[in-house]
Amino acid sequence: AQSVTQLDSHVSVSEGTPVLLRCNYSSSYSPSLFWYVQHPNKGLQLLLKYTSAATLVKGINGFEAEFKKSETSFHLTKPSAHMSDAAEYFCVVSEPGGYQKVTFGTGTKLQVIP
């Protein structure tokens, strides 16, 4: 069975400082991993996805994530936080199958302090 753990429910950073949102996963297969962002009262928007092509994945809005198989981690980073990054972020694992086998993390709320 697959699972995903987001290690921090809340992260607070100052504007202009780096962002690190942590995600660990468990899977019996070589999964695909995704990060989604949700702004207040909005749907989820895809930030980036890992599909085994490259371990360092670049996404939108300056975010990137590194897949580390030995650590079963897929942490999301950004060099410099912007006020507009304040949102909730979800790490998602997907396994192969005849239908969508997707598991969402519990989310990390990012606060950006001016």
Partner 1 sequence: KAGVTQTPRYLIKTRGQQVTLSCSPISGHRSVSWYQQTPGQGLQFLFEYFSETQRNKGNFPGRFSGRQFSNSRSEMNVSTLELGDSALYLCASSLQGAGEQETQYFGPGTRLLVL
| Closer CB to partner 1, 44 or 86, in the complex | 44
Count the alpha carbons within 13 Å of 78 in the hemisphere toward its beta carbon: 25
Q: Which of 107, 108, 110, 112 binds partner 1 (CB under 8 A)?
A: 107
Cα dist from 58 to 39, 40, 77, whole Å: 20, 24, 10
Contact 55, 66 (CB under 8 A): yes
Where in 4-33 is the site for partner 1 (CB under 8 A)?
Answer: 29, 31-32
Least distance in angstroms from the C-beta of 34 to partner 1:
7
Q: Which of 13, 19, 25, 34 binds partner 1 (CB under 8 A)?
A: 34
CA 92 to centroid of chain Cα atoms: 7
| Closer CB to partner 1, 35 or 112, in the complex | 35
Q: Which of 46, 54, 60, 83 binds partner 1 (CB under 8 A)?
A: 46
- 3-state secondary structure (DSSP) of residue 3: strand
**Residue 9, Cβ density class (10 Å: 0-12 exposed, 13-18 middle, ≥19 buried):** exposed
| Closer CB to partner 1, 84 or 114, in the complex | 84
Q: 7 phi and psi, to 5 degrees?
A: -75, -20
Point out which residues bind partner 1 (CB under 8 A). 29, 31-32, 34, 36, 41-46, 49, 51, 90, 94-102, 104, 106-107
